[in-house]
Amino acid sequence: MTLAGLNNLKRYGTVHVFCKDGKPHVDITMGSQGPLKMSVPWKYCGGVTGTVGTQANHVKICVGFDVEEVDGKVTVRPVRVSPKWIETVDVKLDGAGDVAKTATHIVSKLMPAFVKDFWIENLPWRMHRIMEQLAK
The lowest-confidence range among 4-8, 78-82, 130-134 is 130-134
Which one, of 75, 59, 58, 78, lies nearest residue 67 by Cα? 75
pLDDT tens digits for range 23-45: 999 999 999 999 999 999 999 88
Cβ neighbours of 71 (radius 10 Å) = 5
Q: Whole-angstrom Cα distance, residue 56 to residue 39?
A: 12
Domain ranges of the chain: 2-135
pTM here? 0.83
Phi, psi of 12 (to 5 degrees): -125, 115
Q: SS3 breakdown of the chain: % helix, strand, coil, rounded to 5?
A: 30, 55, 15
In tens, the pLDDT along 66-125 reads 999 889 999 899 999 999 999 999 999 999 889 999 999 999 999 999 999 999 999 999
Residue ranges of E strands in the chain: 2-4, 9-11, 16-20, 23-32, 36-43, 49-70, 73-94
Q: How far is residue 121 from each of residues 17, 26, 106, 124, measured CA to CA in Å?
A: 27, 23, 22, 7
Helix ranges (H only) for the chain are 98-110, 112-135
